[in-house]
Amino acid sequence: MQHDDTIWAVINNNFCSYKLKTVTQNFCRNDYNVTGLCNRQSCPLANSRYATIREVDGVSYLYMKTVERAHTPAKLWERVKLSKNYTTALEQIDAELQFWPGHLKHRCKQRLTKITQYLLRMRKLKLKTNQTKLVPISKKIDRRELRREAKAEAAARLDKAIAAELVERLKAGSYDDVILNARESVWKKVLESDKVEVEEDQSESEDDEAEEYIEDEDEDEEMAEREMVEMSDFESDMEDLMDDDSDDDGASDDGRDEDESDEESDDSDDDDDEGEEEPVRPPSKKRAAPAPSKKAASKKRRGGKGGRGHVEVEYEHVGPARAMETSW
């Protein structure tokens, strides 16, 4: 009460951060203003005794402030929850603001009416139309995010992560019952080398791993492939001639795949492995581990179609052969 007029003089004539000036009118951006206009009667700052209605999530509250609490901003506003019933709410306002100046009561009721009306309208609208939410396209943001996505993908180096994860799983033994066609020695070598030597240069190794899975699942196809390759692969014939290795299986990638499968299934039980690995005799040449590749490759063929454990390892000139193949 003491300061009201001074406050208003300062606010109105000097500066108020809530005042919004337009050509015709002044508005007040203060949350607690009843009318939304900037004038002496409606200013929540310049009236020590003030009341408003505010609506939060469909519930209306009556806020009141008095002189006694004017110096404690945290506890300034006293809040009363109003009933959702309009008439009851009006009566509540009357009861709370019983001895308050009439114009404030009136303004509060007007505001409550407005609020009730728009809430009603909102509810009706929801029922009426299918509320398709329009989402704007923000080109700038989309472009930016796209670029970031690409960068993140590159930075994540998923292939390495996947390889590491796979080896982890191997080590953990989750593939014990799945992979059965591995050689124990190869297996152990992989396990001992703590990291997965995935070399960027030799991209085939990744292909091998991928291919290996395919092969593990679809043995038949592998067989078919092999056969076809045998027949049509002239290179392999050439190699045969060159290396004096009567190797009809020129598909070195198959051999390599088998190597991988060898390595992987090493983890499985020795019993199983031994049983199935018996037919596999020739030393396998590994792509991943820098084991000396042996030129001599036996003609050992996979015995039957069904055996998952059957691995044929046929290698020749791994390097040049591969190079020739890729240069097709």
Q: 278-307: which residues touch other proteins (CB under 8 A)? A: none
DSSP characters over 121-181: HHHHHHHHS--PPP----HHHHHHHHHHHHHHHHHHTHHHHHHHHHHHHHHHTTTTTT---
Residue 188, CB-side half-sphere exposure with 13 Å CA sphere: 4
Q: How far apart are CA 280 and CA 318, in angstroms?
A: 19
Site map 31..50 versus other proteins, x via CB under 8 A: --------------xx----
Where b means 16+ CB within 10 Å and e means fewer, 174-183 reads ebeeebbbbb
> Which listed residue (24, 57, 71, 99) binds other proteins by CB under 8 A?
71
Looking at residue 68, the DSSP 8-state letter turns out to be G
Query: Does residue number 7 form part of the binding site for other proteins (CB under 8 A)?
Result: yes
Query: Does residue number 18 form part of the binding site for other proteins (CB under 8 A)?
Result: yes
Query: Does residue number 16 form part of the binding site for other proteins (CB under 8 A)?
Result: yes
Query: Does residue number 56 form part of the binding site for other proteins (CB under 8 A)?
Result: no
- Least Cβ distance, residue 42 to other proteins (angstroms): 14
Query: Does residue number 199 form part of the binding site for other proteins (CB under 8 A)?
Result: no
Contact region with other proteins (CB under 8 A), list: 5-13, 122-130, 227-235, 294-302: 5-13
* Size, binding site for other proteins by CB under 8 A: 24
The encoded tokens of residue 74 equal: 């945290």
Select 6 or 174, whichever has its Cβ closest to other proteins.
6
| Residue 26, phi then psi, degrees to nearest 5 | -110, 130
Q: How far apart are CA 216 and CA 177, in angstroms?
A: 13
- Least Cβ distance, residue 256 to other proteins (angstroms): 59
Select 37 or 191, whichever has its Cβ closest to other proteins.
37
- Closest-CA residue to 320 (of 222, 260, 217, 242): 242
Select 102 or 306, whichever has its Cβ closest to other proteins.
102
Query: Does residue number 9 form part of the binding site for other proteins (CB under 8 A)?
Result: yes
- Least Cβ distance, residue 25 to other proteins (angstroms): 19
For residue 76, the Cα-to-chain-centroid distance in whole angstroms is: 45
Query: Does residue number 72 form part of the binding site for other proteins (CB under 8 A)?
Result: yes
Residues within the interface to other proteins (CB under 8 A): 1-7, 9-11, 13-18, 45-46, 70-74, 76
